[in-house]
Amino acid sequence: MAHWPYNTSKWARLREAKLAETPLCEICTRRGLIVDAVAVDHFQPVRQGGSPFPALSGLLSLCLSCHNEKTASFDRPGGQTFRRRFKGFDAEGNPIDPFDDWHRKAGGRSKDGEAGPRTDTPRRAQT
């Protein structure tokens, strides 16, 4: 049985809006794969103080595999000790995890101006 806020009509509308806006798994897309999203996940889990009904930019469209990967590595108690929610790199060699410190050091800002995961495709760091 789903728990609050996931059993509310407000969450159902928010979930449908996110999947309509971003129908493909955002992490698989960074991996160069085309996979339909079936889950909508909070950037910051509700149990860890995240808003239960954030703006769409505070949510991720994910396939079941990526959703389970994030839940296992970050959302569970004690999972915050892992540095990355998602493992791997894109074709440019950048971490696919939008929360990776690399994105913040590269000047990543969320659409509301706060430091956070980059939503655009970052350029490869110059060496």
Average pLDDT rounded to a whole number, residues 92-103: 77
Tell me the C-alpha distance between 75 and 87, whole Å: 15
The SS3 assignment for 55 reads coil
Average pLDDT rounded to a whole number, residues 54-75: 88
Tell me the C-alpha distance between 73 and 85, whole Å: 6
pLDDT tens-digit map of 15-61: 999 999 999 999 999 889 999 999 999 988 888 888 999 999 999 99
The residues spanned by each domain of the chain are 9-105
